[in-house]
Chains A and B, each alone.
Chain A
Amino acid sequence: MLSTLKGMLMTLQTSLRKPVTAQYPKQHLPLMERQVGFPALTWDAKVGEPYCVGCMVCVRMCPTQCMSGTMIDNPLHAEGKSTRRKIIEEFEINLGRCILCGLCVEVCNFDAIEMSHEHEISHYARDGRRSDLPVLLEMGKKYQAESNWIAPEVKKAAIAAAKAAATAPVGEETKAVSASAGDVTETKDAPANDTTAGAETKEPPVEEAK
């Protein structure tokens, strides 16, 4: 019976340890930085419209076909306030069907859709948790705020600045740095140049990396 006694001793030792239970929902375990929640659409606060232009790449990529959307001519572009010629009008994700794979985020060229950290959105509904554009934008704004989300134009400016600093000769480094700083502010004021050329600017960095 020695093995049984050893086993019993071990269970006795374990019973004296602190339990590992976290009493949900009073206690939430910390979420990792990369934890995937449901997808959400991001909001361009500078211009006051979603980043999403309605290109439908994510809709085509979704394995469960849980998304649908409509693209319209951007009224803000007609007024001259935005450089996006097209904008999303209606967007719906059936969050009940979403498998949280993140493929939509991978293929989006505009950083318009992100996997938020939302995962506690159960409620009584008969519509299968189909979320439309305002709901998704709300989730997106919350995600942008809490995760220090960097806008794509800022990221591109930082990459361009780093490249300029790396390729410029040593003596002219300070000029290049100030020039790139100026570039950054320029691009901040006029995100138009980058967003309209959104599709094109994707290509050169990829070729560069090759």
Chain B
Amino acid sequence: MILLIPLGVVLAALLAIVGLAIGYGGEDVVYILIKSLSLLTILSVVVLSLTWVERKALARIQQRMGPMRVGPYGLLQPIADGLKLLIKEDIMPAWVDRPVYWLAPLAVFIPSFAVWIAVPFTSSLVLTDMSLGLLYVLALSGMSLIGLLMAGWGSANKYGIIGGLRSAAQLISYEIPLLVIAITIAMLAGTLNLTEIAMGQGNTWYILLQPLALVIFLLAGLAEVGRSPFDIFQAESELVGGPFIEYSGAHWSIFFLAEYINTFLVAALVTIFFLGGWSGPLLPELAWFLIKCYSVILVIFWLRGTLPRLRIDQLMAFGWQGLVPLSFLNFLMVAFALFYGWPNWVQTVLSLTTLVAASTFIYMKTASKKVRPTVRLIPAREVRRA
């Protein structure tokens, strides 16, 4: 009962703000409100569908079926999951730092959602067509870092603190390749407006020009989201959740949503930057956008199902010693290509060669036939004789 009072105050304040806005702003404000609400709804539906797609994709990789009970082919499973999380008891340990603990999910969730007002779904479907869209998106997506730190600290749990610090280190490190690649794409496109970047690709998608950039951006994006193989800070098998360890029920569902929203954001950015956005024959633009996004997401799930996770120091080494130099190298290549006006195929060749060289280098250092560890086999009769 006592919670109704602050809830009532908050609702009244919201209504007052909305009323004032409509009163002073007029119809535009109503449109913005409607568009924002529909964006929220679409994103929630997308996130719910992502949970279903993930479970089904991982299940098929493991040669099993995934959810099949709740609804036909388990399609209502996300709703069941969401309901379960909402009605679950929020267990909060007694010694948490309350303001920090309560605000942490919001600090992670709000930037993840606020980013989407600048991301275009089709050439006309964007909430706000910002001319500095790219800057806005990347700036906000880096802000969820503070939320993770707050979650880790506020949990008053050693696992949480360790996880929070790990996540801070990881997210900061992988911002750099992400940003440098974004700058590279902006250079190629000549604009920071996301719609124009997507449409400016025409028929030569940037994946053809910059395969190396795609790989770096995808890996850096995965590390930003905290997905396998970079999910050490929420490793289920070690730190049982990392900064999210003391959150349950509705609180945890916010983190869960934020993770999937970020995954979808990474997929959407890859689509816009490299795969030509919504261009494609026959089908409507939105359909192509979604198809491309979901293909990238399937690749992300595929990576999750196949690879073990990297340890934190290996992750940092991979970031700083691998992705950062490569992204700067890529930047230089593109800068040279644009400055001297080289044709497109030069870019492709340079990019591909660097990608193949880097992959081969890693392979030669770790797993090639010469360096891989071997197992000696001694016949039993020799040991018997001895």
Q: Do A and B associate with each other? A: yes
> B60 near A15 (CB under 8 angstroms)?
yes
> B64 near A20 (CB under 8 angstroms)?
yes
Residue A8, interface by CB 8 Å: yes
Q: For chain B residues 44-73, which have a beta carbon within 8 Å of chain A?
A: 57, 59-65, 68
Chain B interface, >50% SS class:
helix
What chain A residues lie within 8 Å of B142 (beta carbons)? none
Bound-state Cα–Cα, A9 to B305, Å: 12
What chain A residues lie within 8 Å of B63 (beta carbons)? 14-15, 17-20
Residue B307, interface by CB 8 Å: yes
Residue A2, interface by CB 8 Å: yes
Chain A interface, >50% SS class:
helix
Residue B156, interface by CB 8 Å: no
Residue B342, interface by CB 8 Å: no
> B65 near A11 (CB under 8 angstroms)?
no
Bound-state Cα–Cα, A7 to B367, Å: 13
Residue B336, interface by CB 8 Å: no
What chain B residues lie within 8 Å of A21 (beta carbons)? 64-65
Residue of A nearest to B68 (CB): A23
> A19 near B302 (CB under 8 angstroms)?
no
Report the minimal beta-carbon distance from B369 to chain A, rounded to whole angstroms. 10
Q: A19-B59, A19-B60 are in contact. Are A7 and B307 (CB under 8 A)?
A: yes
B302's partner among A2, A8, A23 (CB-CB below 8 A) is A8
Residue B306, interface by CB 8 Å: yes
Residue A3, interface by CB 8 Å: yes
Among A8, A18, A23, which residue has the most Cβ atoms of chain B within 10 A? A8
> B362 near A1 (CB under 8 angstroms)?
yes
Q: A8-B302, A11-B302 are in contact. Are A1 and B64 (CB under 8 A)?
A: no
Residue A12, interface by CB 8 Å: yes
Residue B359, interface by CB 8 Å: yes
Residue A4, interface by CB 8 Å: yes
A3's partner among B64, B65, B367 (CB-CB below 8 A) is B367
What chain B residues lie within 8 Å of A12 (beta carbons)? 61, 302
Bound-state Cα–Cα, A19 to B59, Å: 9
Bound-state Cα–Cα, A114 to B68, Å: 37
> A2 near B65 (CB under 8 angstroms)?
no
> A15 near B61 (CB under 8 angstroms)?
yes
Digit string of B227-269 for contact with A (CB within 8 Å is 1, else 0)?
A: 0000000000000000000000000000000000000000000
Q: For chain B residues 347-382, which have a beta carbon within 8 Å of chain A?
A: 359, 362-363, 367-368
What chain B residues lie within 8 Å of A1 (beta carbons)? 359, 362-363
What chain B residues lie within 8 Å of A20 (beta carbons)? 63-64
B307's partner among A4, A18, A19, A23 (CB-CB below 8 A) is A4
What chain A residues lie within 8 Å of B60 (beta carbons)? 14-15, 19
What chain A residues lie within 8 Å of B367 (beta carbons)? 2-3
Q: A3-B367, A19-B65, A23-B65 are in contact. Are A11 and B359 (CB under 8 A)?
A: no
Bound-state Cα–Cα, A46 to B68, Å: 49
Residue B303, interface by CB 8 Å: yes
Q: List 16 A-B contacts (CB under 8 A).
A: A1-B362, A1-B363, A2-B363, A2-B367, A4-B306, A11-B61, A11-B302, A12-B302, A14-B61, A15-B57, A15-B63, A19-B60, A19-B64, A19-B65, A21-B64, A23-B68
Rank and list the top 8 A-B pairs by shortest CB-CB distance, nearest first: A1-B359, A15-B60, A21-B65, A3-B367, A11-B61, A19-B65, A11-B306, A15-B61
